[in-house]
Every structure is written in C-alpha cells, then in structure tokens.
C-alpha cells in the first residue's frame, strides 16, 4: 500500500502542497505573535531618538505623521520620519525641528549601507552638521549647501540630504497651513 502511494504521480505535488500549507500557517502564527512586540520595540526606539533630539521633552503625540513634541505642556518642536534610497537600500531618518522650523537634530533610524563606508551616515560627525540649518541650507557643499559628504559615500550622503530636504519642505508646508 505504501509503495503504491509513493509511486503515484500526484504524490510529490500533494506532499509539496502540504509542506507549503503548513509553512504558511506557521509563518502567519509567528507573525501574529511577534508583530505587537516588534511594533512596541519600534515605538521605544523612536521615543529614545526623540528624547535624544529633544532632551527637554516631557511628552509627544503623533498627528498625521508628525510628532508634536511638548515640554511641560508647551509645544517645543516637531519631528518626522524621512526616507531616502541610498547605495545599499532604504535609509530611514528621524528629523527634529524647533518651533521656528530650524533643524534641532537628525538621527538615522535604519540603513543598509556598506559597513565602514556608507554606514558612517549614522555617526554624529555627519548628522550633527544638520543642527541649526534651515531647509534652504540643506544640500551637500558640492551642490552649494552646508553639508560635507562622507568621503567614499557620496550616494549615501546625498540620499540622506535629499530625503531630509524634501520631507522638511513638505512638513513645513503642512504645518504652516
């Protein structure tokens, strides 16, 4: 009987279908169990970055993709996420603005740039250059701006600069309305 089942031409298809169905069910189960944990860790990470950019922050609220930062119930600034496409993939950036729309701080949330070269966009030597700049100042020095590109990582540097500039212009337009 067992040999008859194994010799049947449909056996490999049925066997593979059962494996795929079991795998999909297991993946769905694991995803449903871990998705809330992943989301809470992401919120913790963003909160930590916001506290780093706004040390005086007492609370924040998310409103239409913009984090409104408060210090003792007074509005202390804004923060938002920007995303650019670097040499190694997407770069997610958190940008903080003061009340007059000057950059208070920039922090790289995630990136997949080349280790040791493009990954230097996460270092304060690069991100601190944004502090105090307005939207019109954000460009690489080679393009008339005030940001020095990382040597050997121009694509990564340009991706961060362009993502921050594009999103800051969009957010300021939204906030002024």
pLDDT at residue number 135: 87
pLDDT at residue number 175: 82
Q: Which residues contact 29 (CB under 8 A, 6 or more apart)?
A: none
Q: Which residues contact 11 (CB under 8 A, 6 or more apart)?
A: 5
Per-residue pLDDT of the chain (177 residues; tens, 9 = 90+): 666 666 777 778 888 999 999 999 999 999 999 999 999 998 899 999 999 999 998 999 988 889 999 998 899 999 999 999 999 899 999 999 999 999 999 999 999 888 888 889 999 999 999 999 988 899 999 898 899 999 988 899 999 999 999 999 998 888 877
pLDDT at residue number 64: 86
pLDDT at residue number 6: 63
pLDDT at residue number 4: 66
CA 155 to CA 164: how far, in whole Å? Answer: 14
125 CA to centre of own chain: 19
């Amino acid at each position: 009987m067992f040999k008859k089942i194994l010799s049947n031409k449909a056996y490999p298809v049925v066997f593979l279908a059962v494996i795929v169905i079991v795998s999909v069910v297991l993946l769905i189960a694991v995803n449903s169990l871990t998705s809330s944990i992943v989301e809470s860790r992401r919120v913790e990470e963003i909160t930590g970055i916001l506290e780093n950019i706004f040390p005086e922050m007492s609370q924040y609220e998310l409103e239409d993709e913009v984090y409104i930062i408060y210090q003792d119930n007074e509005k202390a600034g804004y923060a938002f996420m920007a995303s650019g496409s670097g040499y190694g993939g997407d770069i997610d950036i958190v940008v903080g603005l003061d009340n007059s729309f000057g950059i208070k701080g920039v922090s790289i949330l995630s990136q997949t740039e080349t280790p040791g070269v493009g990954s230097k966009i996460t270092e304060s030597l690069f991100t601190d250059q944004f502090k105090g700049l307005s939207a019109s100042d954000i460009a690489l020095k080679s393009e008339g701006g005030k940001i020095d590109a990382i040597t050997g990582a121009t694509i990564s540097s340009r991706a961060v600069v362009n993502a921050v500039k594009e999103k800051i212009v969009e957010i300021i337009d939204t906030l002024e309305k």
